[in-house]
A and B are shown apart, each in its own frame.
Chain A
Amino acid sequence: MSKTNIASDPRLIYVLLIFVIAVPILTHTVLPVPVTDTTRAVYNFIENLPPNSLVVVSFDYSTSTVPELQPQATIVAQHLFLKPLKILFVAQWTDGPALTDAVLDAIDKGNKTYGTDYATLGYIPNSATLIGMTANIQSFFPVDTRGNPTQDLPIIKQFPATRQAALVITFVAGEPGLSAYLQYWQARLNIPVAAGAVASLAPGFMPFYNSQQIVGILISIRAAAEYEFLEHAQYSQVPIGLSGATSAMVAQSTSHMLIIVMVIVGNVAYFVSRRRKEGSK
C-alpha cells in the first residue's frame, strides 16, 4: 500500500468522499429503495384518513438538519395536499415557521386555499400553549404567521381545537419534539402521532413504535426516498425528484461503501506493516 500515511493526511479520504457523494447527486441517479415497515405505516395511515380530517404538522427542527428532514417534510406535505384534508402547521423550534414556508413553496398545493384548507399558526413557545391549543386554538394563537386573526379563518372555525385532529406528525431533531406530543396529545386525548426523525433519534423512538404509541416513524432521509416511491406509485403526478431524497440514497450507499472499503484497506495495510516489522525482528 502507498507509503503516504493516510492516517496523518486525511485529505485523500476527503477528496474520495466528495467525489463519491457528488456524482450520484449531480447525475440524479435513482436506486430502488425497499420500503420499511415504519415508513409504510405512516403512509398508510395518512392514506386512510377520512376526508376532511384535521392534520397538524409540526416542524421541530432547525436549519442544520434541513438536509435530513426537509425532504421528509416536503414529500409528506405534498401527500397531505393531494388528499382532501385540512392542515395546520405549527412549530416547536424557532426555525420552524421559516422552514414551513420553504416547504410550502416547494410543493404543488393543487386547489387548496390558505385559510380554508390550511394555515400556518407559528411557534409554540411552551407546553402551556401546546396543552391549551387542544382546547382552544384561537386564544393561544390570536393571529397566524401572516397576521390574519385566526378567528376569521374558516379552518379554525371548522376546527377550533386541535383535540379534533386525526393525526399530528412531527418532524423532530431533538427536544422539544415528540415527547411533548406523546405526553400531552396522545396520552390525554388519543390523538394519533407520527414522527419524522433524524437518524440519531430514531432508535430511541422505536420503543414507542413497538408499543404503538406512535403510528409510524420516518427515519432520516432514507424514509423520504421510500415515501417518495410510495407516493409516486399511487399519485404519478408527483415527480420522483421532488424531495431530492432518492439520489441522496445512492450517495449514502456509495459513501458507506467507500468508508467500509477504506477501513478494510487500512486494516490490511496495518497487518502487512505489522508482519513486516515482526519479520524484520
Chain B
Amino acid sequence: MFFTRETFSQGPVLSLLALILTAMMPLAHATAIQGTQVLNVGPAPWDSAQLFRPWVIYDGTSFTMWYGGEDSQGADRIGMATSNDGISWTKYSGKPVLDPGTPGSWDGDSISDASVIKENGQYKMWYSGQTYGATSVDDVFKIGYATSPDGIHWTRYSENPVLTPGSLGSWDDRRVWRPSVISTGSGYVMYYRGAAVAEGSQAKAGVATSSDGIHWTKTTVLTMPAGSSGWDAYSRQVGALNIGGVMRSGNTYIMSYSSIKAQSSTPAQIGVASSEDGTNWTPYPDNPVITYGTSGGWDSGPGGVGAGNFAGSMILAAQSQYYVYYAASGPTGSYTIGVATLPLSVYPISQTTSTTSSSTVSSTVSTTSKTSVTQQTTTTTTPVSPPLVLGGSLPSLIIGRMSQATLLMVTLGAIFAVTRIASKKKLKTRGIPGIERLDKWIQQAGELDRPVLFTPGTGTIQTPDTLAALALLDHVASRCAQFGVRLIVANADFNVHQVTVDMVKNAYKKAGREDLYTEDTVRYISVRQFAYAAGVMGLLRREKPALNVFVGDFQAEALEIAEAGRADAIAQFGGTSNVDQLPFFMATCDQTLVGEELYTAQGYLTDDPQAISRLVGPDAGKTIAILLIAIGAILVTLGNHVLTSLLRL
C-alpha cells in the first residue's frame, strides 16, 4: 500500500508542499468590505461615551443623520449631524436635539434609536424611550413618536408611547425598541425589536403596520430566511433577526441586518436582504457585505459591526450607490459610527421583481409568532404572509454542522470500505520497529528478573488516549504473564484504576498465570498531577523496571517520568496524541507512538490481517483531509471561498 508511515513522515515532497501552503496562508483575503468612520464620540459630554443607531435620510442634495449618543453615566439622547457627501459630517452644535422626557415618564431615563421620515415638508420620528428598572434586566423600552418642522426642534406626540410591549406571555412582553419605519405610500410599516420577560428568551424582529404612524397594529414576527453561507447561522438557528434599517427601492424592500456565525462566534457582521412584500426576505447570496476590522481600527472591537447593545445599521440609496451606516465597536469598547458605500455595479440589488439566486425554503406554515390574540388583527393595508421557518416542524440538521455530518459520513465510509478491502488482501506492514521490540523488551525483562512498569497517564476513562492505552495494556499484560514477568501498573485516575484491575486480572487468567497477580500489581497513586508524577518517579527509582511503558493522555508530568526513567537507563516506550507533550516523548523515549499510531497500535501487535487492515482505514480519511486542505488553500488564495463556505454550512 502506498500510504505507509515512512512515505508520510519522510516524503520530502509532502513536506515541501505543506511548507508552501502554510507560508501562503497570510495571503488569503476576505471579500466583505470594511467601512470608514464618519462620526466619533464627543467632544460634548452628552455623547462622549458611545454613539449608536445612525439613521440617515437624503433629500436629493444633502444628508441628515440622527444618532444616539451616550454619556459617561449611561444616559442616551438623540443628536443630529449633517453632510453634503455622506462621508464628512458635522455634528449639530454640541447639543442633542431630543432629550429624555420628564423624569418618571415612559421615556424619562433615556431615549435612543431615532427613525426619521421626511414627508410633506415635515419630519416624523419614531424613537425608543427607556425606563430604568431595578437592574438593567428590568429596564422597559417603548416606542414613541415626535414631529418637527426642521429636524432640530421636536414636539412629542401628546399620547406617547405609540407602541408598547405586548401582554404578558407574548414574545415582546418586556420591551419593544429600535423602530425602523418606512412609508408605503398608503401607510407605514414599522420593523421593531422586541423581547420577552421569560428568562433567556431571544430578542426578535417584529412588524407592525399603521395608516397614520400613530396607531399601530402588530402583525407578525419575522424569522430568518434561508441563506447560503454560515455567517448568519446563529440568527437563523435561534430566530434572532437583528434588523438594522429597511428601505424601499421601487417595489422592493431592502434591509440591512447583522448577525454572528454561531454561539461561540466571531464579532457581528452586516448583510443585506431583499423582499417583495416586506415579510418574506431573501438574503443577498454573497453576504456578509460588511465586516469588522482587525488591526486596532475604529471597527476592530469585540462586538463587531451592527449588532449588540449599542448598534444598529441602516441602508439607503443615494447618488447611485448604497450607503450603509452602522455603529461598530472599537478596540476600547466604545461604539462609533461609520459608513460603507456599496457601488451598484457590485451590489446590483435589483429594482425589479426578479429574484436572487438563493432559494427560499417554503415549508409548512408554522406559528412561531407568539403575539397574543388581541394584537393579531386583519386591519392591515399591506398583505402579510405567514412567516417562513427553516425546517419548519420537521427534523432537520443543525445549521453549521450539516457539512460536518456529511464529511463524517463520507470519511467513516471511506475508512471502513478501505479496511474491508485491505482485510481481503494479505498485507504485511512495515511496522513501527518499537512495537516489535516491545515483546523483546518484555522478554529481556524476564531474563533480567526485573519488572515492567506500565502507566496510562493522567486522563480519565473518557479520554480516547486512555482507552487506547488500555488496549495496549491488554497486550502487555498477557505478554508479561506469558514470560512470567512482574508487571506494575500505576494509575492516576480512580476509575481507570478499577478498569485496569479487571483487565490485568483477566489477561493473567487467560494466560493461565493467575498466581502472578498480586495486590501490588495495579496501584492507584493519586489524582493530583504531580503527586502522581512523584509516585511514578519513585517507582522507577525503587523498583528499577527494565521497561517503562507510558502511553496515554499526559500533561507536563510526562517529561518528569521520562527523564527519571532515562536517568536509570531503562528502555522507554511512550505514546500520546497530545501535541504539546510529543516533543518531550520524542526526545526521551527509545520508541514513541505518535498521535494516531497510538490508536492503530493494535494492528502492529499481531499478524492478523484483520488488525493490519485497520491501520490502512484511517489513511483513507487522511487522503480526504489532504485533498480538502490542498484544494481549499489554493482556492482561498485565488479569492474563491466556495469550499470554505460549503464546509461551514
Residues of A within 8 A of B (CB): 10, 41, 44-45, 48, 50, 62, 64, 135, 159-161, 163-164, 174, 179, 182-183, 186-188, 190, 192, 200, 210-215
**Complex: A160 Cα to B136 Cα, angstroms:** 11
Cα–Cα distance between A202 and B72 once the two chains are bound (Å)? 34
- List residues of chain A with CB within 8 A of the CB of B555: 174
Chain B: minimal CB distance from A281 (Å)? 29
Q: Does B518 contact A (CB under 8 A)?
A: no
Q: Once bound together, how far apart are the Cα atoms of A183 and B264, in whole Å?
A: 5
- Contacts across chains A and B counted by CB atoms under 8 Å: 62
| Given A135-B200, A192-B333, A211 contacting B266 (CB threshold 8 A) | yes
CB distance from A47 to the nearest CB of B (A): 9
**Contact string, B538-568, partner A, CB cutoff 8 A, digits 1/0?**
0000000000000000011000000000010
Find residues 420-469 in chain B having any chain A CB closer than 8 Å to their own CB: none
The reply to whether A190 and B308 contact each other, CB–CB distance below 8 Å, is: yes
With a cutoff of 8 Å between Cβ atoms, the chain A residues found around residue B567 in the complex are 10
Cβ contacts B130-142/A at 8 Å (1 or 0 each): 0000011100000
Q: Of B53-61, B82-90, B205-213, B296-304, which binds chain A? A: B296-304
Residue of B nearest to A203 (CB): B580
A187-B263, A200-B580, A211-B266 known; A41 vs B135 contact (CB < 8 Å): no
CB distance from A92 to the nearest CB of B (A): 16
Cβ-defined contact, A215 with B264, below 8 A: no
Does B9 touch A at the CB level, under 8 Å? no
- Can you list 14 A-B pairs with a CB-CB distance of less than 8 A? A41-B331, A62-B529, A64-B556, A159-B135, A163-B137, A179-B264, A182-B264, A183-B264, A187-B263, A187-B265, A192-B333, A200-B556, A211-B267, A212-B294
The reply to whether A213 and B135 contact each other, CB–CB distance below 8 Å, is no
Please tell me if the beta carbons of B263 and A183 are within 8 angstroms of each other in the complex.
yes
Within 8 A of A (CB), among B285-309: 292, 294, 300-304, 308-309
How far is A52 from B294 in the complex, measured between Cα atoms in Å? 30
Give, as a whole number of angstroms, the nearest-CB distance from A220 to chain B.
13
Q: Are A213 and B72 in contact (CB under 8 A)?
A: no
* Set of chain A residues within 8 Å of B264, measured between Cβ atoms: 179, 182-183, 186-187, 213
Pair B135/A212 contact, Cβ less than 8 Å = no
Interface residues of B (CB under 8 A from A): 49, 72, 74, 135-137, 199-200, 262-267, 292, 294, 300-304, 308-309, 331-333, 528-530, 555-556, 567, 580
In the assembled complex, the CB of B349 is this many whole angstroms from the nearest CB of chain A, namely 29
CB contact under 8 A between A190 and B303, given known A50-B72, A182-B264, A210-B294? yes
Contact residues in B for A211 (Cβ distance below 8 Å): 266-267
Q: Which of B49, B74, B530 contacts A64 (CB 8 A)?
A: B530
CB-CB nearest in chain B for A167: B333
Q: How far does the alpha carbon of A48 sit from the alpha carbon of B303 in the complex, in Å?
A: 16
Who on chain A is nearest to B567 by CB? A10
Q: How far is the CB of B486 from chain A (nearest CB, A)?
A: 28
Tell whether A212 pairs with B267 under 8 Å between CB atoms, given A45-B333, A135-B199, A192-B333: yes
Q: Complex Cα distance A112/B301, Å? A: 31
Q: How far is the CA of A214 from the CA of B49 in the complex (A)?
A: 21
Cα A214 to Cα B137 in complex, Å, equals: 24
Closest A residue, CB atoms, query B238: A188
Query: What residues of A have a CB within 8 angstroms of the CB of B530 in the complex?
Result: 64
Q: Of all chain B residues, which has the CB nearest A209?
A: B302
Smallest distance from the beta carbon of A40 to chain B beta carbons, Å?
10
Nearest-CB distance from A258 to chain B (Å)? 18
Determine whether the beta carbon of A44 is less than 8 Å from that of B267.
no
Kindly state the separation between the CA atoms of A135 and B198 in the bound complex, as whole angstroms: 11
Given A135-B199, A200-B580, A212-B302, answer yes or no on A164-B263 (Cβ-Cβ < 8 Å). no
Q: Please give me the residue from chain A that is nearest to B329 by CB atom.
A: A212
Given A161-B137, A182-B264, A187-B265, the answer on whether A64 and B529 have CB atoms closer than 8 Å is: yes
Q: Which 9 A-B pairs have CB atoms at the shortest separation, nearest pair first?
A: A187-B263, A212-B302, A187-B264, A211-B266, A183-B264, A64-B530, A182-B264, A48-B332, A212-B267
Collect the chain A residues with CB atoms within 8 Å of residue B72's CB: 50
Closest Cβ of chain A to B304, distance in Å, is 8
CB neighbours of A215 from chain B (8 A): 302, 333
Chain A residues, Cβ within 8 Å of B292 = 212
Q: A48–B301 contact, CB under 8 A?
A: no
Q: How far is the CA of A62 from the CA of B265 in the complex (A)?
A: 29
Cα A215 to Cα B303 with chains together (Å): 10
Q: Give the residues in chain A near B74, CB-CB below 8 Å.
A: 50
Bound form: Cα–Cα A70–B294 in Å: 31
Shortest CB–CB separation between residue B296 and chain A, in angstroms? 8
Chain A residue with minimal CB distance to B307? A190
* Nearest Cβ on chain B to A146's Cβ, whole angstroms: 25
> Nearest Cβ distance between residue B47 and chain A, in whole angstroms?
15
Given the complex of chains A and B, what is the CA–CA distance between A263 and B306 in angstroms?
Answer: 53
Determine whether the beta carbon of A160 is less than 8 Å from that of B580. no
Q: Which residues of B contact A190 (CB under 8 A)?
A: 303, 308-309
A41 to B294, CA, bound (A): 14
- Which B residues lie within 8 Å of A45 (CB)? 332-333
| Whole-angstrom distance between the Cβ of A168 and the nearest chain B Cβ | 13
With A164-B136, A190-B308, A215-B302 in contact, is A48–B266 under 8 Å at CB? no
Choose one: A50, A174, A179, A192; the contact of B302 (CB below 8 Å). Answer: A192
Tell me which residues across on chain A come within 8 A of B309, comparing CB atoms: 190
A159: chain B residues within 8 A (beta carbon):
135
- Most chain A CB within a 10 A radius of its CB, from B72, B263, B264, B266: B264
- Give the CA-CA distance A183 to B265 in the complex, in Å: 9
> Are B266 and A160 neighbours in the complex by a CB distance under 8 Å?
no
With A48-B332, A212-B266, A213-B267 given, name 19 new contacts (CB 8 A).
Answer: A41-B331, A45-B332, A50-B72, A64-B529, A64-B530, A135-B199, A160-B135, A161-B137, A163-B137, A164-B136, A183-B264, A187-B263, A187-B265, A190-B303, A190-B308, A192-B333, A211-B266, A212-B292, A212-B301
Q: Which residues of B contact A179 (CB under 8 A)?
A: 264
In the assembled complex, the Cα of A48 lies from the Cα of B332 at a distance in Å of 7
Q: How far is the CA of A215 from the CA of B331 in the complex (A)?
A: 8
Tell me the complex Cα distance, A223–B580, Å: 21
CB distance from A10 to the nearest CB of B (A): 8
B333, A161: Cβ atoms under 8 Å?
Answer: no
Whole-angstrom CA separation of A200 from B200 in the bound complex = 35
How near does chain A come to B532, taking the closest CB pair, in angstroms?
A: 11
Q: Which of chain A's residues has its CB closest to B531's CB?
A: A64
